[in-house]
């Protein structure tokens, strides 16, 4: 495994980037749109700035979707018709992979041979398509997992549904077929090796980035005024998809414990939940509202729909701290975004969050999901302005090290390394899986 991969200096001219189940054009924070959408958008833009053209293939979910949309100069989104436009959830999509693959292959067939130099697939569904497309075109397959079934199943929230065996099988096939696997952290690379037998020569670690033009420190008073928040409030913010995996219920239970221990905080505590239901959370979209009422904290919790990046940056600046009690996170882009705005983060010590958050410096990492432990971790942020100020400044400095330019350069180097060994494409594991 290498953190950045050396090799031939040649970079691809044009790549096919695959995102079957969620479009880079969709609003993060609801449905299946989240950090992966942000990742693809920002990475594609920065790759284009490095003179690597990117064509992103995604499933059309509306009859009004244009066949192609220019996301940015050098970045084209292609909508592929695969199954009905509406009514399909992510779990239904394996049955549509043949149709999606057909759309991808038909697009390439309309160009001269060698139109795409490389395939970069995101998430296992895209990996299944990428495996076949890369083999057909005789080009390398680079894959980014984003999340892994075995890792998620090992840390399920209470009442959440496990990932099905079919996904585990699919991920195993993609790992065996891929030329290179890009992991967000060294821990994720180790999980790929442990759970999916990824080889050291397949693995490369490239940290995701943060858009430092959008997410940057700003005027907290102005942000609170624009969002209708009290100027003297202790604002403990949750931003993300509302589903058991992200554990917003842990935050609510912790707030109930905190207020029971410190009743004087009730007058100034505000807990905004910014996001929409997703995944298994879609089955009970009102469950979090009901939980807040049952816990007797409905007066301090405020629910808000997902927002665009500029508005989200205002939420980060307005917050005293961002809270991420997730059971699993491949990295945690939200944590970087908040820190880039000068806001400390209280996060679960899982996945990539120990890389995104420096414990005791830019925020606090919490082991486990006991509400009492989370209440203890949150209390200093609600009661010690000096600590919030110091950690917020450190957070902004820390996040500044994670620009998307560096992430794109590292990814381009992985591409260059994979192009240096094309002979491996038609031998070994790929033929056994075909």
Residue stretches of the annotated binding site for 1D-myo-inositol 3-phosphate: 21, 32-37, 90, 123, 147, 167
Residue 216 phi/psi, 5-degree rounding, is -150, 155
Question: Quick one: CA dihedral 390, 393, 394, 399, positive or negative?
Answer: positive
In the annotated binding site for Mg(2+), the residues are 316-317, 319, 343
Detail the residues annotated as belonging to a binding site: 21, 27-28, 32-37, 90, 123, 147, 167, 241, 246, 307, 316-317, 319, 329, 337, 343
The Cα angle at residue 53 between residues 47 and 58, in degrees rounded to 5: 95
The binding site for UDP-N-acetyl-alpha-D-glucosamine consists of: 27-28, 35, 241, 246, 307, 329, 337
What values do phi and psi take at 417, rounded to 5? -65, -40
* Structural element, H or E, at residue 15: strand 14-19
User: What's the CA angle centered on 365, arms 364 and 368, to 5 degrees?
Assistant: 140
Residue 31, both tokens = 């449905």
User: In sequence order, what are the beta bridge partners of 142?
Assistant: 120, 180
What is the C-alpha R_g of the chain? Answer: 22
Going through 341-394 in order, the beta strands assigned E by DSSP cover: 345-348, 363-366
Q: Are 88 and 96 in contact (CB under 8 A)?
A: yes
Q: In what helix (H) or strand (E) does residue 239 lie, and over which residues does it extend? A: strand 234-239
């Amino acid at each position: 495994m290498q953190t950045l991969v050396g090799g031939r200096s040649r970079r691809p001219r044009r790549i096919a980037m695959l995102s079957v189940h969620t479009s880079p054009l969709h609003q993060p924070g609801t449905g299946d749109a989240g950090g992966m959408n942000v990742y693809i958008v920002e990475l594609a833009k920065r790759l284009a700035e490095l003179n690597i053209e990117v064509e992103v293939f995604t499933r059309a979910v509306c009859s009004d979707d244009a066949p192609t949309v220019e996301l940015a100069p050098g970045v084209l989104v292609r909508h592929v018709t695969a199954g009905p436009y509406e009514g399909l959830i992510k779990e239904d999509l394996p049955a549509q992979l043949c149709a999606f693959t057909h759309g991808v292959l038909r697009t390439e067939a309309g160009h001269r041979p060698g139109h795409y130099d490389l395939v970069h697939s995101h998430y296992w569904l895209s990996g299944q398509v990428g495996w076949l497309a890369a083999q057909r075109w005789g080009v390398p397959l680079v894959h980014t997992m984003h999340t892994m079934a075995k890792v998620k199943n090992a840390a399920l929230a209470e009442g959440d549904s496990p990932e099905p065996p079919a996904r585990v099988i699919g991920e195993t096939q993609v790992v065996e077929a891929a030329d290179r696997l890009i992991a967000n952290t060294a821990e994720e690379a180790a999980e790929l090796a442990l759970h999916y037998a990824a080889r050291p020569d397949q693995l490369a670690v490239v940290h995701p980035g943060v858009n430092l033009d959008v997410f940057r420190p700003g005027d907290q008073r102005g942000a609170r005024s624009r969002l209708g928040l009290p100027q003297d409030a202790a604002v403990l913010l949750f931003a993300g998809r509302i589903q058991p995996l992200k554990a917003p219920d842990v935050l609510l239970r912790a707030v109930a414990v905190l207020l029971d221990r410190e009743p004087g905080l009730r007058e100034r505590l505000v807990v905004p939940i910014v996001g929409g239901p997703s995944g298994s959370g879609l089955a009970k979209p009102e469950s979090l509202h009901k939980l807040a009422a049952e816990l007797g904290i409905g007066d301090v919790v405020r629910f808000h729909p997902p927002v665009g990046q500029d508005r989200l940056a205002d939420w980060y600046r307005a917050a005293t701290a961002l809270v991420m009690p997730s059971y699993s996170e491949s990295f945690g882009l939200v944590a970087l975004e908040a820190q880039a705005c000068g806001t400390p983060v209280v996060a679960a010590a899982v996945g990539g969050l120990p890389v995104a958050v420096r414990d005791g410096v830019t925020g606090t990492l919490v082991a486990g999901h006991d509400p009492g432990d989370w209440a203890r971790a949150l209390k200093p942020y609600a009661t010690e302005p000096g600590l919030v100020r110091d950690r917020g400044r450190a957070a902004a400095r820390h996040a500044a090290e994670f620009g998307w330019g560096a992430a794109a350069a590292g990814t381009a180097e992985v591409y260059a390394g994979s192009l240096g060994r094309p002979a491996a494409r038609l031998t070994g594991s790929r033929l056994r899986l075909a």
